[in-house]
Amino acid sequence: MEEVIKLHLAIIPDGNRRWAKRAALRPWEGHEAGMTSFKEILLWAVKQPQLGVLTIWGFSTENWNRSEAEVSHLMKYYEQWLVEQRQVFHEHKTRLIHSGRRDRIPASLAKLLEDVVRETKHYTDFTLNFALDYGGKDEIVRAVNKLLGETTITEESLRAGFDHPDMPDIDIIVRTSGEQRISNFFMWQGAYAELFFINCFFPDLKVADLENVLAQYATRQRRFGK
């Protein structure tokens, strides 16, 4: 019997702040609305037989440049979400993993995250990858530093090993359907990912939108350079 390979679905939840601005709300209220949407999406995802992993980007390494008030509210929301969802992970046999740094987030959030990751590590039915204080370039730098021990590698020195180290970074990636982004692109884990762009802010994202994505994905032919 042929083994069924489950899909890894990743979501960049863009537009929370613009959703809030459109509704004349404060920026962090957009994030709160986005978290409500994500709870519904997660409950849908764990029930999909073709999905094995869901990655959600909660906070990038660049998001520290936002206002202290916004960052503070967001970190509190994430801590509250973990408290609320802890039992849900167990009910749906969902393993929580974390991508990113833990040394810069609030200590209470880091401890809670560590605890939930540890107590769900034995589940194999479904995995939720929570990307918090995560950046693709930062992950590469951290990985190289792990390999080289005490030697410190920076993004600039790592660039010297690229095929064309003198070529400037890409400034524009042309895509259709308006303002969209896939931050930290031209790397590494997502090199052959199929791209889909949905023209709504994250708090307005519906399960039906993701079901449509899966249906479209099934019609695409992935060649992987062959």
Domain boundaries, the chain: 7-212
| The predicted structure's pLDDT at residue 157 | 66
| The predicted structure's pLDDT at residue 168 | 39
| The predicted structure's pLDDT at residue 162 | 47
Residue that the structure tokens 């790397």 belong to = 187
Q: Is the pLDDT of residue 1 over 80?
A: no
Residue that the structure tokens 């307005």 belong to = 204
What confidence category does residue 150 fall into, taking pLDDT thresholds of 50, 70 and 90?
Answer: low
Q: What does the DSSP 8-state code read for residue 97?
A: E
Mean of pLDDT values over 172-191: 48
- For the chain, what percent of residues have pLDDT higher than 90? 41
Helices (H), the chain: 16-22, 27-45, 68-91, 107-119, 136-147, 155-159, 207-217
Catalytic residues: 14, 63
Query: Which CATH fold would you assign to the domain 7-212?
Result: Undecaprenyl pyrophosphate synthetase (3.40.1180)
pTM value is: 0.81
Amino acid at 175: R
Nearest to 134 by CA among 96, 99, 85: 99
Amino acid at 133: D
Amino acid at 51: L
What confidence category does residue 158 fall into, taking pLDDT thresholds of 50, 70 and 90?
Answer: low
Mean of pLDDT values over 45-67: 91
How far apart are the C-alpha atoms of 7 and 143, rounded to whole Å?
25
Average pLDDT over the chain, rounded to an integer: 81
Which tokens in the block code for residue 160? Answer: 């010297």
How far apart are the C-alpha atoms of 75 and 73, rounded to whole Å?
6
What confidence category does residue 160 fall into, taking pLDDT thresholds of 50, 70 and 90?
Answer: low
Residue 5 neighbours by CB distance under 10 Å: 8
Q: What does the DSSP 8-state code read for residue 25?
A: -
How far apart are the C-alpha atoms of 89 and 18, rounded to whole Å?
30
How far apart are the C-alpha atoms of 86 and 57, rounded to whole Å?
18
Cα–Cα distances in angstroms (integers) from residue 3 to residues 6, 127, 128, in the given order: 9, 18, 22
Q: Is the pLDDT of residue 95 over 50?
A: yes
